Structure 1
Amino acid sequence: MRTQRVFVYEYLSGGGLVGGEDGDDEELLEEGIAMRDALLEDLADVPWLRVSAATGSGPVPAMAGVHWARPREQESPHDFVLRQAASHDLSWIVAPETGGLLGCMRKLVGPMRWIGCDSVAIRVASSKLATLEHLARHGLPTPLDACSAREATRWVVKPDDGAGALHTRVHDALADAKADLRQRQRMNASATLEPWVEGEAMSLSLLCGRQRTELLSVNRQQLRLAADGAVHFSGVCHGAIGLDDARAALLQRLARDVALALPGLRGCVGIDLVWHPVRGPVLIEVNPRLTSAFVGLSQRLGRRLALEALEPFARLEVLHAA
């Protein structure tokens, strides 16, 4: 295999996060740096890889074999990614779906140099409502089904293309939820309303390929509801359910069903769900990219997961070049 030049760009740590107004910037940046470094640790010192990684203005860790690239002064994230992608064989972009950002980055990089999900999977998963409607059409359990609507005692309003739990609020009355939704729509904010599913918040870490979807870890999401209904995300407990647990077999089948419904899922992917005490798993959203649950997972499993995810794309690139 010839040497492959790979560009790693994590949006938040690569200069994309510029002075927000939510007060969450520092926490988001820490998550971004952790994802970037976990990915790079898996790719560092691989003989057939030359890895470049994006960084903003802050310091960078010493990683053998990693070249650090910074945006030029006044260079936009889109222009920076376009410039770097042109000089690399492959690009691994970790960016939120918000505002169509991830999908836009894929267009800039181009399908032959892109590491990750295809454009259809990204487009569907970039909308929480579109994702649930799509999965429901394939017979998978979601908050949109009749059972959830009938049993609901609370409702949640959240950004339709948001990341994490930012701007997510739970309401005890449907009328209040609808008023919240209307207010966001008046402000031209992306928003969706759905029944709040009671139960244990979980996430699945997957490695998706053309022939196989592997469940790597079943995680517990640490969520807290404030008195005003605001939802706060405080991290992930990895491996909360062992893969030898009886529930894991059902979750593995569910993961495969999601991959069949969205056949363009590739590489490191996350699924958020709630384990309802009676109904079992109910799907909440699909993250068509590497997520914060990936951090520490390679070490725990004793595998270079990012390298495993990258290898199929590298082989395709070689064939294309030939």
Structure 2
Amino acid sequence: MHILVCEFVTGGGMPPDTAIPASLAREGNLMLHALLADLLEVPGVEVTVTRDARLPPLASPVRSITITDPRESWSLWEDLARQADGVWPIAPETDGALERFSRTVEVTGRHLLNSRADAVAVASSKAATAALLAAAGLPVVPVWRVRAVVADGPPGNGPWVVKPDDGAGCIDTRLIRDHADWRGWLAEADRSGFVVQPFQPGTPASLSMLCRDGRAWPLTANRQNVSLSGGRFSYGGGIVGGMALSPALTDLAQGVAVALPGLFGCVGVDVIVGPDGPTIIEVNPRLTTSSVGMRRATGLNVAAAVLDLSRDPPIPPPPVTRIEPILLTLEG
């Protein structure tokens, strides 16, 4: 089986006229290498990747195609997808990148080893995701589009969290303490593409799971290292498998899969765990950074499990019988 792996940041997706941020390149490389290590252990699998010429070449034994002009990346990715049996995109939801990848692969008729485009379209919008999950009766932090509350401000007196509706990670995520802070933030720039949520106290965490056709197989619950400095949030990694996979979290995973049946393969759900249980922040319809420690934490070859799930009929992943917490840091 020939698989095309497209990691957006390191594989040609970044603008040609600016340097690739070192932190994004590091995170992308970590996810890419973890996925390649798993794929290369699967008998009969051959892998092609693309690589931005501004980054060091890969040492992995894969076919690597260097991209010298990122403006040509999308046409090249489509051509390469047509030559592959399956395509595994690793891309942010921002600016519709992951949805575009998914639709491109669906048009080619090749196996999309990620969530369907319709599910990605919903999950790429924090407002749309919250509305869907709330309608399904799941505990989710409310989300308001900034343009809908810009005149009077969001409900309550704060604090709130603001972020891009299609953002990934903690990019441009800020804490707004009160209405004066809100007005100052609005005056800084165009905020029409942002959303606002009430600040939810508790422990930042994520669920890593596999999905297909409205069913979820939870793998680990992960503690997240989210820090706040100068009113800005940042994500620095966490502990994969650092939290017990409680019945409440397992039920949450199943509820998300039922509400978004187009989710497939690796999926992450960001939650806040408080005294009353977990509350959903957002759904990441793709491989997430926690995948970097998944093999060591669980012993499971996640890539092999996803390939088995893509079969007809699907082969469910084996149960995770042991979890060893793995510290994951994105620094240096």
TM-score w.r.t. the length of structure 2 is 0.83
Percent pairwise identity: 36
Give the secondary structure class of the aligned counterpart of 1:156: strand
Question: Are 1:69 and 2:65 counterparts?
Answer: yes
1:103-252 to structure 2, matched below 5 A, reads 103-110=99-106, 112-113=109-110, 114-144=112-142, 153-177=158-182, 180-181=185-186, 183-184=188-189, 187=190, 190-210=193-213, 212-227=215-230, 229-243=231-245, 248-252=246-250
Distance 1:136 1:152 in 2: 23
Question: Are 1:37 and 2:33 counterparts?
Answer: yes
The structural deviation recorded for 1:226 is 1.1
The structural deviation recorded for 1:55 is 1.4
Contact 1:98 1:162 in 2 (8 A): yes
Question: Are 1:84 and 2:87 counterparts?
Answer: no
Residues 294/50 of structure 1: CA separation in 2 closer, same or farther (3 Å cut): same
Aligned length: 301
The structural deviation recorded for 1:241 is 1.1
Aligned to 2:291: 294
Q: CA RMSD in A?
A: 2.4
The structural deviation recorded for 1:182 is 6.5
Distance 1:194 1:15 in 2: 33
Give the secondary structure class of the aligned counterpart of 1:207: strand
Give structure 2 stretches of 5+ with no counterpart: 144-153, 315-332
Residues 43/19 of structure 1: CA separation in 2 closer, same or farther (3 Å cut): same
Deviations 1:24-55 (A, max 9, x none): 81001100011011111111043321211221
Give the secondary structure class of the aligned counterpart of 2:80: helix
Give the secondary structure class of the aligned counterpart of 1:290: coil
Residues 297/283 of structure 1: CA separation in 2 closer, same or farther (3 Å cut): same
Contact 1:269 1:288 in 2 (8 A): yes
Give the secondary structure class of the aligned counterpart of 1:295: helix
Aligned to 1:320: none
Q: Counting helix residues as a fraction of each chain, which structure ranks higher?
A: 1
Contact 1:17 1:29 in 2 (8 A): no
Residues 314/84 of structure 1: CA separation in 2 closer, same or farther (3 Å cut): farther
Give the secondary structure class of the aligned counterpart of 1:225: strand
The structural deviation recorded for 1:108 is 1.5
Contact 1:204 1:218 in 2 (8 A): yes
Question: What code does the residue aligned with 1:203 have?
Answer: S
Contact 1:152 1:196 in 2 (8 A): no
Aligned to 2:308: 311
